[in-house]
Amino acid sequence: EAQVTQNPRYLITVTGKKLTVTCSQNMNHEYMSWYRQDPGLGLRQIYYSMNVEVTDKGDVPEGYKVSRKEKRNFPLILESPSPNQTSLYFCASKPYMGGDETQYFGPGTRLLVL
Amino acid sequence: GEDVEQSLFLSVREGDSSVINCTYTDSSSTYLYWYKQEPGAGLQLLTYIFSNMDMKQDQRLTVLLNKKDKHLSLRIADTQTGDSAIYFCAESIGGGADGLTFGKGTHLIIQP
- pLDDT tens-digit profile of A87-109? 999 999 988 776 666 788 998 99
Each residue's pLDDT tens digit, A23-34: 999 999 999 999
pLDDT band at A1 (very low <50, low <70, confident <90, very high): confident
Neighbours of B8 (CB within 10 A): 12
Q: A73: which DSSP letter?
A: B
**β-bridge pairing B61-66 and B71-76:** antiparallel
A96 Cβ partners below 8 Å, 6+ apart? A29, A30, A31, A50
List of chain B residues whose C-beta atoms are within 8 Å of the C-beta of residue A90: 42-43
Q: What is the dihedral of CA A97, B99, A48, A89, to 10 degrees?
A: -140
Q: H or E segment at B43?
A: strand B43-50
- Where are the extended beta strands (E) located within chain A? 4-7, 10-13, 19-25, 31-38, 42-51, 54-57, 65-66, 76-78, 87-94, 104-105, 109-113
Question: What is chain A's alpha carbon radius of gyration, rounded to the nearest angstrom?
Answer: 13
CA distances for A24 relative to A17, A70, A90, angstroms: 23, 10, 12
A42 closest CB neighbour out of B30, B95, B104: B104
Taking the Cβ of residue B41 and every Cβ of chain A, the question of whether any pair is shorter than 8 Å is answered with yes
What is the rounded distance in angstroms from the CA atom of residue B87 to the CA atom of residue B85? 6
Each residue's pLDDT tens digit, B31-51: 889 999 988 788 888 988 888
Residue of chain B whose alpha carbon sits nearest to that of A32: B99
Residue B77 has pLDDT above 70, yes or no: yes
Mean predicted lDDT score pLDDT of chain B:
88
